[in-house]
Chain A
Amino acid sequence: MVFGSARDIVEYAGVPRFAFTNFPLGNPCGRPFDTVMQREIVETGLRLLETAQAPTPTVVTPYVWSDDESWKRLIFTKEQPFLEGEAYEHWIKAKEKYRQMKTEGKV
C-alpha cells in the first residue's frame, strides 16, 4: 500500500495499491501536524487494502494544499532550484559514488 505525492512516478513504476495526495513532495501522508487529515489518509489506504481484489487505479485523496498553487509551477525550476548548498553537494557526491560503482561493475 503506497502513499505518495509524485503521481506520475508511482503510476509509471506500477504498484498494487496507491493513495495519491496532491501535496508538495515530502508529505505523502498529510499536512504536517494535521492529525485528522493524516488519520483520514491512512484510513483511505486501509480501506483500499480491505476492498481491492486486483491492482487498483490510483485513489486520489481530496485534500488541497493551499489556494496558492504556485508550488506546482515552481518545483524543479530555475526560479526554485531543487537542491542548493550542502544538499546539492551531497547529491553531487552521491552521483560520483554511483559513477564509481558503475565503473567497477557494481550497479
Chain B
Amino acid sequence: MRDDYVRYIERTREYYIAEGYKTPYKWAHFEDVPFTALKKPLAQCRVGLVTTSDIALKTESGEHESHDPAALAGNVYSIPFDTPPERLYSRNEHYDRYATTLDDVNAYCPVVRLRELAAQGRIGSVAARFHGVYTSYSQRVTMERDAPEVLRRCREDGVDVVLLTPV
C-alpha cells in the first residue's frame, strides 16, 4: 500500500538480532515535547539549518577538503551557507543506497532551496552558516555536549527558526 511506511524500529531490531546482536537499540524518546510558537512573520525570520547527513566539502578539482578544525567542537561542525552547492557532498553511509543516491545535497540539506526562499522574501534570511552533527551512538553525548553546542551556534547566528534534517 502506498500509504504504508517502514517501521524502522521493528525492522532494525529484527535485522540486528539476525546479525547476532542481542541487545536491541534503545531509541530516544521524550514524553514532553518542547514547543514555541513562531513569534513573527517568516518574512522577518532568519532561518537556520541543522543536518546529520555528514556534509563534506570538495575542492574545485573534486578532492575532499577538510573542514576548518576550529569550526569543529565535539561532533558539531559548520559550513558557510553560501558555499557553492557543487562543492558540497555527503559522506553518509547510512541511507538506502539500493533505492536512491545522495548526489543532490538539496534532497537532504536544502541549502539552495532556502537561499532561493530568502531571495524571494518568503523568509527573511538564511543564517551565515548551517550546522552538521556527526553520528554519536551515545544519547548522553548528544544531549549533554552536541545538542547544547548546536543551540549555542544557532543563537550566535541569530536564527529565529531552525529546520532539521535527520538522515
Contact = CB atoms under 8 A, between A and B. Distances in A.
B30 to A, nearest CB: 4
How big is chain A's contact interface, by range?
35 or more
Interface of A: 1-4, 6-10, 12-16, 20, 22-33, 35, 38-39, 42-43, 45-46, 49-50, 52-55, 60, 64-65, 69, 71-72, 74-78, 80, 82-83, 86-87, 90-91, 94-95, 98, 101-102, 106-107
Nearest to A69: B2
Contact of B137 (A64, A86, A98): A98
Contacts of B93: 83, 86-87, 90-91
A15 to B, nearest CB: 6
B113 A74 contact: no
Contacts of A90: 93
B81 interface: no
Contacts, number: 177
B102 A26 contact: yes
B107 interface: yes
Given A12-B29, A42-B163, A55-B35, 14 more contacts: A1-B164, A3-B164, A10-B166, A22-B2, A23-B100, A24-B95, A28-B165, A30-B110, A39-B116, A46-B42, A46-B122, A49-B161, A78-B18, A94-B135
A46 B123 contact: yes
Nearest to B90: A26
A14 B5 contact: no
B107 A26 contact: yes
